[in-house]
Amino acid sequence: MKEKLRRLDPWRLELPAGSRPGMSVPAVVYADAEIERTLDDRTLLQAANAASLPGIRRAALVMPDGHAGYGFPIGGVAAFGLSDGVVSPGGVGYDINCGVRLLATAVPAGRILRGRDAVAAALFAAVPAGVGSEGSIRLSKSDEKAVAEKGARWAVERGLGEAGDLERCESGGRLDGAEYGALGRRALERGRGQLGTLGSGNHFVEIQEVAEIFDPAAAAAFGLEKGLAAVMLHSGSRGLGHQVCADSLDEMLAAARRYGIALPDRELACAPCSSPEAERYLAAMRAAANYAWANRQALGWAAGKALAAALELSPRELGLRLVYDVAHNIAKIEEHAAPGGRAGKVMVHRKGATRAFPPGHPEVPAEYRSAGQPVLIPGDMGRASYVLAGTGALGETFGSVCHGAGRLLSRGEASRRAHGRDIVRELAGNGVSVMAAARGTLGEEMPEAYKDAGQVVRVVAGAGLAKIVARLRPLCVVKG
C-alpha cells in the first residue's frame, strides 16, 4: 500500500479513494518524512478498509501516532452518517474510553526531585496496578448502576473529587444513553472490583514537571505554571470495557451479514447506526465509558492523597486541581459541517485519538473557551508529554488529533530488545524514578518502543490541527 501514497504537503499523506477495491473516500495520514518511514502496510490497509465501510464521511484518518490495531488502526478517526453509516466496535477498541487526566499542583518540581523514589513508592502503594488488579472500592449492584449511568459524578458524590472537576471532563465525565441493563454478567463481574485501578501495559500514574511553556496565555488559562509539578494518569474501563467489546463482536458480525454489509475484514464487524444491534452496543459502550470516567476520577483522588502524604503537605498546600480529562477510544454522535457547509450529526469513531475542539466551541469549558480545549498527549515513561489546545481540527478531522506517542515496536519485540538491560537504572540516569507491577512491563514499555511524542505533536501543530501549549517532563512513574 505504501507505493500508492501521495504526499499532499509536509504534514499529510493521502491514499486515494479506489486504492483498494471498495474505498469510497480517501485515507489521509498525518505524517512528516520521519514518521512516514515508520508506516507499515498493515496500518495503511486497515485505514483503507475503514474507508470502505458504508456511509463514511470525508476520509478515513490516521494520526501521526498511528499504528496497526484491531480492525481500525490505533490513531484512527472515522465518521459515519446516521442514516447510511455504521457503528463498529473495532473503531472504538477493547479498552473503551481509555483516556488521560492531568492535575496541576502548587508544588515546585524540585520538592519532588529531592524525594522522587519515596514519592514513587507512595504512589505504587496507593494505586493498584497490573493485570487483574483490584482496588479498595467495592461496588454494590446499586453502585454498579449508578457508575454506569452517572460516570465521574458518582465518584464526586462519594467524596472522590470536587464538583468543579466535572466541568473539566470531556462530555462532563458522562455520556447520555448509557444503560446498565446492556452490560453482560461477565462484564459486570470483571468491573466489580477494578474501579480505582490502573491496569497494565501503557497505563500509568506519573508525576511531571511543567518544563516549558510555549503559549503563555493558554497555559495560564489551564492553570499550568513553569517549574511546578503535575500529575498525569492514563487508564480506562478495565475488564468491564474489554468484555463489552468482546461480547459485541459476534453479534455485530452476524448483523453485518444480515444487513448485507460487505466487510473488507471481519475485525470491522459493524451494524447500521439505526439498527437494534448498534443501539445495544452503544448503550453498553456508553456505560463502559462512564465507568472509565469514574475510574479516572477515583485514581486522581487517590494519587493526590498519596502525593500529599509523601510530601507531608496539607491538601491546601498541595493545591491539586484538575486541568482536564480526555477520552481516547470512543464513538460519539456529534454535529459537524458537511460538504457545502451545512451542519449535520455523524457518528464519530475515535480509536487512539483525542477530541480537540477549538476556541469558542460550546463543549469547551467556559474557563478555557478563549484558549481552546486542552489536549493531553502522554509520552513514553522516559520522555516528555505535552499539553496542546485545539485550533483548526474541526473542519478537517472532526475535531480530532493524536492521543500519545504511538508504538514503534510490538511488545514482544520490545521485550526481546530489552533483555539483559536494567531499564530502572537507565531511567534513573535520566532523572526518572519508576516502579511497575509486573517485571516484564518495563521492557515492553521502554522509551525506544515508542515514537517521540515531541515529533508527533509537531506534525499535529504543523498541520494546523492544534497548538502546543506546554512540555511536561517525567519525574516518577508507576506502571501496571
**Nearest Cα residue to 322 out of 172, 476, 147, 190:** 172
CA distances in angstroms from 244 to 93, 206, 351, listed in the order given: 10, 28, 15
Q: Is 403 a catalytic residue?
A: yes
Out of 328, 361, 403, 419, pick the active-site residue: 403
Are 38 and 451 in contact, with CB atoms under 8 Å apart? yes
Residue with cell 463482536: 249
Nearest Cα neighbor of 65 from 457, 396, 400, 471 is 457
Neighbouring C-alpha atoms within 13 Å toward the C-beta of 333: 17
Q: List, by residue number, the catalytic residues.
A: 403
